[in-house]
Amino acid sequence: MENNNILVIGGAGYIGSHQVKDLLNNNFNVYVLDNLSTGHRKMIDSRASFIEGDIRDYDLLCKVMKENMINAVMHFAAFSIVPQSVEQPLKYFNNNVYGFEVLLEAMEECSVDKLIFSSTAATYGEHKQMPIDENYSTNPTNPYGESKLIMEKMVKWQANASNLKYVVLRYFNVAGAAFDSSVGELHDPETHLIPIVLECALHKREFVSIFGNDYDTEDGTCIRDYIHVVDLCDAHTKSLDYLMQGNKSDTFNLGYGHGFSVKQIIESTQRVTKKDIPIRYDERRAGDPAILIASSLKAQKALNWSPKYNNIDIIIETAYKFYRKNIEK
């Protein structure tokens, strides 16, 4: 296959490591660039080539793209923790926005003209009407979402001025792990709900703090649209095919179109693990919208994507299997 050299930046991280496997399984040659600041060397599939380095290193990016005749880039190397971004906004603008500007410059210099870029539901901010489609207004409630919105605008204007073609994927809440438990989500410290609830099930944590039970939702806790990481990565590979077939740059939501509250996630985890999960109610967490649910009909149609694992118990079960292998000792 020609034109099949893909650079995955952030390929040692949670989503990137799953994506690397999906690309390899679809016969692409994969080059991973990662600074290992939050990713793990052991999560990179041994069939991929690994270069340790930072997205802000222009010379390194150019070297890697030229030496390996890279045809397309997938970018997973942004910081993505909402509460951390509220406390340290400049950390987010530096790595996410500045890092992206360096990447776009290097791609232009090396004539790499296809980019799949991870954006987020956090670009939308608060909305009352669900599900959210791509035409909803964007008004982020936290610096993380703001940094991604700026990046979306940067890629749009750069594409306008060059041959660059892109797909922006706005993820809702990504969860779960590979079915063979070879890769999964390992953050330190962990801030995401499903891993935290599973840490309780595995007695690594005493209780789950529920951040706010006075939201305008049925049980008072926040609602999110959880999508299995394997379905999400399939949509990325299909986005690559979409660009390679010469289709136009576009933005797509990725989610399942229905949501679960924090309490429902805890109930599902109790069902799957057959363990009791102690809870405590805590203050609302800064920057959290009450409800985020995706309409991803546009992605399903344009990318010919049909999600397969739209089941919260399957999502939690695959994550549980991964944690039992990796943190239960």
Q: Enumerate binding residues for ligand UFG (CB under 6 A).
A: 80, 82, 120-122, 172-173, 191-193, 196, 208-211, 222, 224, 262, 285, 288, 292
Task: Please report how the helices 193-201 and 262-273 are oriented relative to each other, as an axis angle in degrees rounded to 10.
Answer: 40
Return the HEC string of 257-305: CCCEEHHHHHHHHHHHHCCCCCEEEECCCCCCCCEECECCHHHHHHCCC
**What are the beta bridge partners of residue 120?**
171
Count Cα atoms within 13 angstroms, Cβ side, for 78: 32
Report helix, strand or coil for 254: strand
Q: Residue with structure tokens 């118990």? A: 313
28 or 172, CB closer to ligand UFG? 172
86 or 244, CB closer to ligand UFG? 86
Catalytic residue among 31, 92, 124, 144: 144
Cis peptide before 278 (omega within 30 of 0): no
Considering the complex, what minimum distance in angstroms separates the CB of residue 158 from ligand UFG? 23
Residue nearest to ligand UFG as judged by C-beta position: 222
What are the tokens at 215?
């939201």
Considering the complex, what minimum distance in angstroms separates the CB of residue 91 from ligand UFG? 14
Pick the closest to residue 280 from 191, 195, 209 (CA basis).
209
Considering the complex, what minimum distance in angstroms separates the CB of residue 269 from ligand UFG? 12
Considering the complex, what minimum distance in angstroms separates the CB of residue 59 from ligand UFG? 29
**What are the beta bridge partners of residue 74?**
8, 116
Report helix, strand or coil for 72: strand
106 or 265, CB closer to ligand UFG? 265
What are the tokens at 84?
């951390």
Task: Respond yes or no: is residue 144 known to be catalytic.
Answer: yes
| Cα 255–Cα 260–Cα 262 angle in degrees, nearest 5 | 125
35 or 80, CB closer to ligand UFG? 80
165 or 287, CB closer to ligand UFG? 287
Is the Cα torsion angle 215, 216, 221, 224 positive or negative in sign? negative
Considering the complex, what minimum distance in angstroms separates the CB of residue 193 from ligand UFG? 4
Considering the complex, what minimum distance in angstroms separates the CB of residue 192 from ligand UFG? 4
224 or 238, CB closer to ligand UFG? 224
Pick the closest to residue 161 from 100, 107, 241 (CA basis).
107
Distance, CA of 4 to CA of 303 (rounded, Å): 18
**Catalytic residue positions?**
144
